[in-house]
Structure 1
Amino acid sequence: MWGCMNNSFPASYAWGNFSVLAVGIWAIVQRDSLDAIVMFLTGLLLTVLTDIIHISIYYPLHSYLIDVKRFSMGMAIFSLLLKPGSCYFVYRMYRERGGEYVFNIDLESSSDSHFAYNGLNHAGRDRSAYETIDQQDASPQWPDSSKTAQHPY
C-alpha cells in the first residue's frame, strides 16, 4: 500500500486496492464463506488489470521523478508483481475450503447449456450418487397385501 502515497495516481488506485484489502480481511475472518474468497480472488484479478493501467498511464517522466515518487512507483510495481502469487494462494485457500470452480465450455452439444460447472459436461455427469426409482428387481418397501399377517393378540 506504499504505492498509494504517490499523489500522481488518481484516487481510484487507492480505493481499488484498499477495498480489495478489506474484502481480503473479511475472507480471512469468515473461514466458512466461499463467497468471501471468490470476491477476494475476483478483486485481486481486477486490481492486477487496473494497476497495469494506472502504472502505464500515470508513470511520471524522468524529469519529474523525485525520490518519494520513485519509491511509491517502485512499491506500486512491487505490489503488482506480488499479486499473481497472492492470487495463487487465495485460490488454494478456496480449494481447501471445499470450493471447486472448473470452468468448462461445451462446444460440441448445441441443445444443452454451453456452460458446465464442476468440470462435468452433459455426457459425463457423475451419477453414482443417485438411485434409480424404476428398478424392477428391488425388494418392496411394504409387505405384500395378499399375505395376511398374524395378529399377536
Structure 2
Amino acid sequence: MIDWLPRAYGLANITVLAMGVWAIAQRDSADAIFMFFVGLLLTVLTDILLFALYFAGAEKASESGPLRDLFRFSSGMGILSLLLKPLSCFFMYHMYRERGGEFFVNLGFITVSRDRSSYQSIDHVDPPADQDKLPSRAY
C-alpha cells in the first residue's frame, strides 16, 4: 500500500464529512452548517499544503513499479475532491443564509456585518425629545 499523504489528510476529511452529515441531519441549525462551512474552508487550505509538500516525493517514489497506477488514481481523486470543495463551500454558504445565519467579521477596525439593528433612517427628521418636555416660561 502506498501512503503518500499523512494521516492528517484522511482524518481532516473524515471529520468534515461527519460534520456534513450532522449539518444535514440538523435541518434547523445554522451553527451546524457554519461549522461544516468553516471545516471545508480549512480542509481546502490543508489539502493544498499537503499536496504541495508530499506530491513530488511520492511521484518520484512510484515512477516505476506496480503502485504507479494506484498513486495516479489516488492523487487524481484527491485533486478532484480539492476542486469540488469551493463549490461545496458556495452551497453551504447559501444554506447557512437560508437557515438564518448572519455573516459577521470583526478584525478590529474593519467590521463587515449584515446586522442592521442600529440603522437609523434619514428620510424624516424627528424633533429632539428634550424640547417637547420642557415647561414653557412666561416672562
The normalised TM-score by structure 1 is: 0.67
Instruction: State the distance in 2 between where 1:29 and 1:6 align.
Output: 35
Aligned residues: 119
Q: Name which structure has the greater RCO, CA cutoff 8 Å, separation 6+.
A: 2
**Aligned counterparts, 1:1-153, within 5 A:** 7-59=3-55, 60-62=58-60, 64-65=62-63, 66-103=68-105, 107=109, 115=111, 117-120=113-116, 125-126=118-119
1:13 partner letter: Y
Q: Tell me the SS of whatever aligns to 1:61.
A: helix
Q: Is the CA contact 1:106–1:116 (under 8 Å) kept in the aligned structure 2? A: no
The normalised TM-score by structure 2 is: 0.73
1:44 partner letter: L
Displacement of 1:74 in angstroms is 0.5
Q: Is the CA contact 1:51–1:80 (under 8 Å) kept in the aligned structure 2? A: yes
Displacement of 1:15 in angstroms is 0.2
Compare CA radii of gyration and give the structure with the larger one. 1
Instruction: Note the residue ranges of structure 1 that are not aligned, 5 or more in a row.
Output: 108-113, 129-133, 138-153
2:101 partner letter: G
Instruction: Note the residue ranges of structure 2 that are not aligned, 5 or more in a row.
Output: 122-128, 134-139
1:79 partner letter: S
Instruction: State the distance in 2 between where 1:29 and 1:16 align.
Output: 20
Q: Is the CA contact 2:40–2:89 (under 8 Å) kept in the aligned structure 1? A: yes
Identity %: 49
Higher helix share: 2
Partner deviation per Cα, 1:44-82 (whole Å, 9 max, x = no partner)? 000000000111111123451400011000100010000
Displacement of 1:106 in angstroms is 7.8
Q: Is the CA contact 1:27–1:36 (under 8 Å) kept in the aligned structure 2? A: yes
Taking a change above 3 Å as real, the CA distance of residues 76 and 115 of structure 1, as seen in their structure-2 partners, is same
Q: Is the CA contact 2:22–2:32 (under 8 Å) kept in the aligned structure 1? A: yes
